[in-house]
């Protein structure tokens, strides 16, 4: 069930492709919101990517579908918020002031196996948007101030048809530990977990608001986006394992 947005607190100063709104829900929780009106592919990628991350036991921010009432949009008169639209959007709950954007110097403090899991996950879902160079980047990862754990955010660029392993992993936060996946036992264990996550794809798809799936709301006979488009990407790991694992092999 969607969380109702009751207050728009401002515009987030984070985000490269989309600057989300910082809002409050009916239950008083603070949340970052990407409203209906953002590219549907981005919203769908956020939901599927975020839900799969949860099922793969990756550390990530809690997510939900939100509903922005028309009356709230009408009461919000800030001209810079022209893209605040009524309807169903994507929400990522605020983690609090104990978390900040990941920096390159944080990486050596974090669990290398978790970073390897993130590297493989992003490769699996074709997400090239978790990069960190020596001085700066767009890691889409928040780290606790103690530097002992992190949380993943933003999967809106996942399932990219133009994804390239070479170009999109060269600055990935988990690149230095990708050799973990040369071990056959670790690959097998990961595949079992990925299979189990994919078993939930139908349920995940049913959670997506219908409005996101149709570019033409006057023609509800034919969805613009279908589950099979995403399933085909994910199932390469199972149907063509040699190709899937080839970038990890010497």
Q: Where are the domains of the chain?
A: 3-93, 99-150+160-248
Give helix 40-55 / helix 227-234 axis angle, nearest 10°. Answer: 50
Section 133-157 average pLDDT: 93
Distance of CA 66 to the CA centre of its chain: 16
Section 119-141 average pLDDT: 93
Phi first, then psi: what are they for 127, rounded to 5°? -110, 105
Cα angle, residue 224 at apex, residues 221 and 228 outer, rounded to 5°: 100
In the predicted structure, residue 216 carries a pLDDT above the cut 70: no
DSSP 15-84: -SS--PEEEEETTS-EEEEE-BTB-HHHHHHHHHHHHHHHHTT--B--EEEEEE-HHHHHH---GGGTT-
In the predicted structure, residue 121 carries a pLDDT above the cut 90: yes
pLDDT in the model for residue 17: 56
Cα 130 to Cα 17: distance, rounded to the nearest angstrom: 13
Name the percent of the chain lying above pLDDT 70. Answer: 95
Find tokens 């879902």 and name the residue.
125
Band (pLDDT 50/70/90 cuts) for residue 222 is low
pLDDT in the model for residue 220: 59
In the predicted structure, residue 15 carries a pLDDT above the cut 90: no
Section 188-200 average pLDDT: 98
Section 109-123 average pLDDT: 98
pLDDT in the model for residue 14: 61
Cα 68 to Cα 131: distance, rounded to the nearest angstrom: 31
Band (pLDDT 50/70/90 cuts) for residue 12 is confident
- pLDDT, greater one: 39 or 145: 145
- pLDDT, greater one: 202 or 39: 202
Band (pLDDT 50/70/90 cuts) for residue 137 is confident
pLDDT in the model for residue 221: 62
> Could you tell me where the DSSP H helices lie in the chain?
40-55, 70-75, 112-124, 165-169, 184-198, 201-206, 227-234, 236-239, 241-245
pLDDT digits (tens, 9 = 90+) for 24-35: 999 999 999 999
Give pTM, 2 decimals. 0.94
Cα 46 to Cα 51: distance, rounded to the nearest angstrom: 8
Q: Among 128-137, 138-147, 160-169, 214-223, where is mean pLDDT lowest?
A: 214-223
pLDDT in the model for residue 79: 87
pLDDT in the model for residue 217: 55
- Among positive and negative, which fits the CA dihedral 122, 211, 89, 60? negative
Find tokens 């990708």 and name the residue.
178
Cα 74 to Cα 85: distance, rounded to the nearest angstrom: 10
CA atoms within 13 A on the CB side of 213: 18
Mean pLDDT of the chain: 93
Find tokens 């809106």 and name the residue.
156
In the predicted structure, residue 173 carries a pLDDT above the cut 80: yes
């Amino acid at each position: 069930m969607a969380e109702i947005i009751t207050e728009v607190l401002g515009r987030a100063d984070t985000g490269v492709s989309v600057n989300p709104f910082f809002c409050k829900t009916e239950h008083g929780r603070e949340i970052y919101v990407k409203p209906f009106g953002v590219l549907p592919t981005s919203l769908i990628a956020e939901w599927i990517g975020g839900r799969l991350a949860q099922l793969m036991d990756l550390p990530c921010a809690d997510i939900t579908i939100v509903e922005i009432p028309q009356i709230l949009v009408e009461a919000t008169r800030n001209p810079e918020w022209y893209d605040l639209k009524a309807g169903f959007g994507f929400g990522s709950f605020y983690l609090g002031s104990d978390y900040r954007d990941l920096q390159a110097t944080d990486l050596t403090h974090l669990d290398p196996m978790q970073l390897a899991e993130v590297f493989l996950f992003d490769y699996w879902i074709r997400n090239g948007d978790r990069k960190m160079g020596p001085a700066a980047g767009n890691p889409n990862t928040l780290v606790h101030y103690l530097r002992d754990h992190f949380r993943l955010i933003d999967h809106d660029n996942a399932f990219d048809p133009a994804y390239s392993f070479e170009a999109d992993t060269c600055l990935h936060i988990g690149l230095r530990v990708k050799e973990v996946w040369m071990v056959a036992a670790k690959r097998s264990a990961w595949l079992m977990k990925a299979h189990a996550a994919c078993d939930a794809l139908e349920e995940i798809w049913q959670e997506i608001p219908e409005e996101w799936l149709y570019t033409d709301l006057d023609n509800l006979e034919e969805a613009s986006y279908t589950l099979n488009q995403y399933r085909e990407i994910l199932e390469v790991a199972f149907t063509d394992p040699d190709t899937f694992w080839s970038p990890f092999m010497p």
